Chains A and B, each alone.
Chain A
Amino acid sequence: MNEMTPDRQERSANLKGMGTSRKRVEDARFTQGKGNYVDDLKLPGMLVGDFVRSPHAHARVTSIDASAALELPGVIAVLTAKDLEPLGLHWMPTLAGDKQMVLADGKVLFQGQEVAFVVAEDKYIAADAVELVEVEYDDLPVVVDPFAAMAEDAPVLREDLQGQSEGAHGPRRHHNHIFLWEEGDKDGAQAAIDQSEVVAEERIYYHRTHPCPLETCGCVASMDKINGKLTLHGTFQAPHVVRTVASLLSGLDEHNIRVISPDIGGGFGNKVGVYPGYICSIVASIVTGRPVKWVEDRMENLLSTAFARDYWMDGRIGATRDGKITGLQCHVTADHGAFDACADPTKFPAGFFHICTGSYDIPVAHVGVDGVYTNKAPGGVAYRCSFRVTEAAYFIERMIEILAIKLNMDAAELRRINFIPADQFPYTSALGWEYDSGDYHTAWDKALKAVDYEGLRREQAERVEAFRRGETRKLLGIGLTHFTEIVGAGPVKNCDILGMGMFDSCEIRIHPTGSAIARLGTISQGQGHATTFAQILASEIGIPADKITIEEGDTDTAPYGLGTYGSRSTPVAGAATAMAGRKIRAKAQMIAAYLLEVHDDDLEWDIDRFAVKGAPERFKTMADIAFASYHQAVPGVEPGLEAVSYYDPPNMTYPFGAYICVMEVDVDTGETQVRQFYALDDCGTRINPMVIEGQVHGGLTEAYAIAMAQEITYDDMGNMKTATLMDFFLPTAWETPHYTTDFTETPSPHHPIGAKGVGESPNVGGVPAFSNAVHDAFRAFGLTQSHMPHDHWRIWKTARDLGLHG
């Protein structure tokens, strides 16, 4: 009975359930131009909003004269902070417990800040009107460096907080200080490292960058004054959170607000937060009684909505002479810009940065993070990252390399002797996390073997000799990374955003003829939920994935959930889907028992049916049961076949991976070429290998961009120097490396299907792999640390500083 007979194989294959590379159901509409993105929406009478933005990084706004703009035919209104103030909407709360100006209230704090909102009949008129709004500014001194911001005599940026010694996350010790957040054993870590035989100490900078999805942020707010209902379509990674926040801010009852996330053109963390454009559109729609669309352009996107990283990480790591790590310390100076607009779980103002002990068994550790205000755009979002996990992985994977240099040891071997052994899981880290499962040694050995690590090291040594003999100007770098992530926020007891617990949900309805619809609290932005969640359900309830519709993003129909970011969809909503499916199956079993006239316990589940134990020819398929559930009276059982699950995970999941990057580095021009990139991911149970591979390719490409050239950078006056795609690096097919993917499979013991999530792994692990390759190329010449991004001129400077230009 249990061997897969041809019949069973066929029935199983028919489901297209977990583990199959099912083709995506989304693709028919996307490939034919029939996607439905926010900017595609056109409502009758719709107006367009556009912002007047500050050209200055820090200035007092002395006057705003909109009269010329208002005279332009087709201009309906120009909103300023004065108009929003009576509604209490000239400021808004951020998801990080800070508050942010919706429109400039007396001063501006970063270049591109929203000053006035023009509402007009179309975007051409709106753009003309923006030019006609006259704003006068008095310049104030600009601070773009977080260390300078903490100087005694630094200008006061946030006058609204002046004199407040308590912030959302504890005491503030300076007028530009936001919080100090600490975890671990401070004295213990200090003592352990002080007493270590070998100590490595370094400042690691993870530069400021931006998620930059191809579709920018936008919304259409539509207030129906007759019914008192507000409908808000938008690029929201967390539509239900937006509804609750909108209700709290506007005073509208939550049932009168409908938030819809249609198709989203990539998110990567950019579309989690609440932006002034949303508030202004809502207000403008309420004021005018007409729908109002606001879609930012690319410059506005890079200038104002979200940035990521900007972490200055001062690390110390101790070890014995033979390489066993004894302790780890890290102090971070976190540049949050003008407002702390992270989207981290409220208890964690530095996110899960304390996963920074990585894959290693480190006995004692301490981290402290100081958040600081500067005259830069607000944010600090998790760019393809589970809340500062990227920064943490980069930190530890650089510190390991630096320690290897100090120990004069091979960095692969140093990792191996410090890995948490497989038999120690579940493992509690020195900073308090309980790692669910892992087998790092197996993954590492597989990776090293796949690339012929020994052979690469021999080739590298020969290259160094050839370089010294003057036969080549190119060095070879071997970038190693073994990362451990923490994703799937999270247990509600730990993780909430502004008090909203981070569970997620799934609601299933089986239709009488054996097809189904499932709705979730998450929202796909390219991850392919409509495809993969149907696969989970197909395996759980035996209905073919092709007969299951997945729907997300409409708060009027979908169950409440916290949305899609931080690789939480599979760990949380995926679990909810499986659990709801199991409720369906439990009820189905009762119905089948009645139909087959046997006891519940006499039945066993067999792919797509319940069969009588020992008599497989006597069975009822899920389709049979579905029909009966609606149309046949089953004693003691309610009609219908529906279930809902709200899943609060008992723990987070800990995906891991081993990445190896082989890179050619031209010391004269600073150009680089990735010769080989091998990525082994362990995301637990694999739902759709094709989709996993796609996620890895995409995440690695974002990592490549970040590590090698992508940055948000400002001059001393606070002018952003990288506000278009000419200067903000997004690689094309021409620059992007080729990748080889691989896997091991270590299921999560606490997740219903053992899945861990994968979307962010390649970004988390990719950045240190690329960066380590650059550093490794120069290791023989004495390089310890250089800052990302490793663009041409920075690599050239490294080579020059090492004396490699003769």
Chain B
Amino acid sequence: MIPAAFEYHRPSDIDSVIGLLRKHGDEARVVAGGHSLVPMMKLRMAAPEHLIDLRDLADLRGIDIGHPIRIGAMTTQHELLTHAGLAEAAPIIAEAARQIADPQVRYLGTIGGNVANGDPGNDMPGLMQCLDARFTLVGPDGTRDVAARDFFEAAYMTDREEEELLVAISFDPSAGGYAYEKQKRKIGDYATAAAAVLLQAEGGKVSSAAIAMTNLSDVPVFSAAAGDALIGTDCNHKAVRAAIDAMLGEIDPMEDNRGPVEFKQHVAGIILARAIARAWSRV
């Protein structure tokens, strides 16, 4: 397993990256941690002629805990997992990051790579939809923000233009209960089904709810209807059932080695129920 040859670029500022992307178009790929792209290159399922390494872009790193929280695209999963301020302000991030890949991969794998790649197996896209995050993209025409809930179009297809670079992700701190629940076959696996849930309550009833599902369609599935089904309830059995039914109407899992469609639908329901229960217990 040997990647095809490419020309290697290691720019140190965003303008240079954009310049290279403009110059080489679809012959160029940016690489962050490389743990999605490099394996694809080794299998020769990807063979970019120009590889643009982002590691010298200091601006793309770091976690800023403010309103909103801003995370540089080159921030690694390991940093997400070990950042004390983030654990306080958005604890669901660490709970999810812990369930991604394995320690070595988390040291290099980045949040930006995880969302920008558009791989339906990745966990961060669904989580970002749940958090209602905004993705900041820089391109030849300047900077724009795209809502995570509008970003994913199909497997490996996103709203990012070829000449644009994802530089940061921002979202508001999440008060209330949270849970990231994931079933997988083993450490390092993608989800059989995963659910991100954020709940807020007033007077013992759900006042707001956000629910997103991972690896159950060719894109992450933010299910507004599932969240709505919980509003005004105390997450009783009936409400959870309604949320599950709403969610099931929006996912579209495919059969793979993890199991047939019917199994994935069943597990999606179980995982969502568990996530809601845990989130509710933390409200």
Contacts and interface: CB of A to CB of B under 8 A. Distances in A.
Interface of A: 123-124, 127-128, 131, 297-299, 668-671, 709, 713, 721-722, 726-727, 729, 731-732, 734-735, 791-793, 796-797, 800, 805
Contacts of A797: 263
B186 A791 contact: no
Contacts of A791: 185, 259
A796 B267 contact: yes
Contacts of B4: 128, 131
Given A124-B2, A793-B258, A796-B263, A732 B188 contact: yes
Given A124-B2, A722-B257, A797-B263, A792 B186 contact: no
18 contacts: A127-B2, A128-B2, A128-B4, A128-B5, A131-B44, A298-B1, A669-B270, A670-B267, A726-B189, A727-B257, A734-B187, A791-B185, A791-B259, A792-B258, A792-B267, A793-B258, A796-B259, A800-B266
B110 interface: no
A151 to B, nearest CB: 27
Interface in B239-269: 257-260, 263, 266-267
Contacts of B2: 123-124, 127-128
A241 B246 CA distance: 64
Given A668-B266, A727-B257, A732 B102 contact: yes
A124 B6 CA distance: 13
B183 interface: yes
Contacts of A669: 183, 267, 270-271
B76 interface: no
B75 interface: no
Contacts of B267: 668-670, 792, 796
A800 B263 CA distance: 10
A805 B192 contact: no
A670 B258 CA distance: 11
Contacts of B44: 131
Nearest to B267: A669
Given A735-B187, A791-B185, 14 more contacts: A123-B2, A127-B1, A668-B267, A668-B270, A669-B183, A669-B267, A729-B185, A792-B258, A793-B259, A793-B260, A796-B263, A796-B267, A800-B266, A805-B266
Q: Classify the interface of chain A: helix, strand, loop or mixed.
A: loop
Contacts, number: 61
A735 to B, nearest CB: 5
A670 B270 CA distance: 11
A270 B183 CA distance: 32
A470 B257 CA distance: 31
Given A131-B44, A796-B263, A732 B186 contact: yes
Interface centre among A131, A727, A793, A800 (most CB of B within 10 A): A793
Given A123-B2, A669-B267, A669-B270, A792 B188 contact: no
B188 A709 contact: no
Contacts of A732: 102, 186-188
A722 B185 CA distance: 14
A792 to B, nearest CB: 7
A726 B187 CA distance: 10
A127 B260 CA distance: 36
B228 to A, nearest CB: 25
A668 B187 CA distance: 20
Nearest to B184: A792
B263 A735 contact: no
Closest 3 CB pairs of A and B: A793-B259, A127-B2, A793-B263
